[in-house]
Amino acid sequence: MNVITDYIEYWQDRYDSILAYVLQHITISFVAIVLAVVIIIPLAIYMTKMKNEKVKNAIFSISNILQTIPTIAMLALMIPFLGIGFKPAVAALFLYAVLPLLRNTYSGIKSIDQSIVESAKGMGFSAFQRILIIEMPLAFPYIMSGIRTTSVYIISWAELAAVVGAGGLGDLILAGIGFNDKKMIFTGTILSILIALFLDVVLGRVEKNILKKHKGGSTI
């Protein structure tokens, strides 16, 4: 009983600062995810139309290598370019998002039955209309699953943003380690997990709602 009342007291004391950490955490993750979605998905779509195999393979290799760099090292590598704080944290998280988003979007579009695309072309859809009206909706489940996995990873990796002074729930954990305060460590961890779960559920809902509008769409 003691532990629980203690913990509730801790929350009452620190409510303001915990909320600030949460907001920081969400902001960093959110900016990284949005940037990745806005930049990587169009890139992946562009790559499906790319004739030059060499350039395509180079992009895939780079995004693969990015994925293998340890998180701490990645953050450290950012410092010389972007200094410390918010920017290097977002940049590092963004780079981690490249591979899963690229791969899912690319393979989602490539998996569409070519006769459907050829039909659209022969009927007079412009390249842009083909992407928007045919390919994106058909690849949607793949693209969405890329966004979901990436988001969950980014939220957990955002814990390390604290290392480069960007704040977030990682700060709470680092401080907890410094003060040997289990309550702080626990709070930092559990909140990040909850945020990740919450986001996953929300994105899942969004996906379902959109899919309902075109239930004939391809399923994974």
Range 84-96 burial, b when 16+ CB lie within 10 A, else e: eebebbbbbbbbb
Q: What residues contact residue 97 under an 8 Å CB cut-off, 6+ apart?
A: 32, 33, 36, 40, 150, 153, 154
Q: Any contact of residue 13 with another protein (CB under 8 A)?
A: no
Which listed range, 11-19, 115-123, 149-157, 181-189, lies at the site for another protein (CB under 8 A)?
Answer: 115-123
Q: Letter for the amino acid at 109?
A: I
Site residues for another protein, window 175-214 (CB under 8 A)? Answer: 214
Q: Any contact of residue 217 with another protein (CB under 8 A)?
A: yes
Q: Any contact of residue 119 with another protein (CB under 8 A)?
A: yes
| 175 and 181 Cβ atoms separated by less than 8 Å | yes
- Whichever of 6 and 118 has its CB closer to another protein, that residue is 118
| 61 and 118 Cβ atoms separated by less than 8 Å | no
Q: Any contact of residue 118 with another protein (CB under 8 A)?
A: yes
Q: Which of 137, 146, 168, 170 binds another protein (CB under 8 A)?
A: 137
Q: Which of 5, 68, 115, 180 binds another protein (CB under 8 A)?
A: 115
Q: What residues contact residue 71 under an 8 Å CB cut-off, 6+ apart?
A: 92, 96, 157, 160
Least spacing, CB of residue 184 vs another protein, in Å: 49
Q: Given the rule CB under 8 A, which residues bind another protein?
A: 113, 115-116, 118-126, 129, 134, 137-138, 214-218
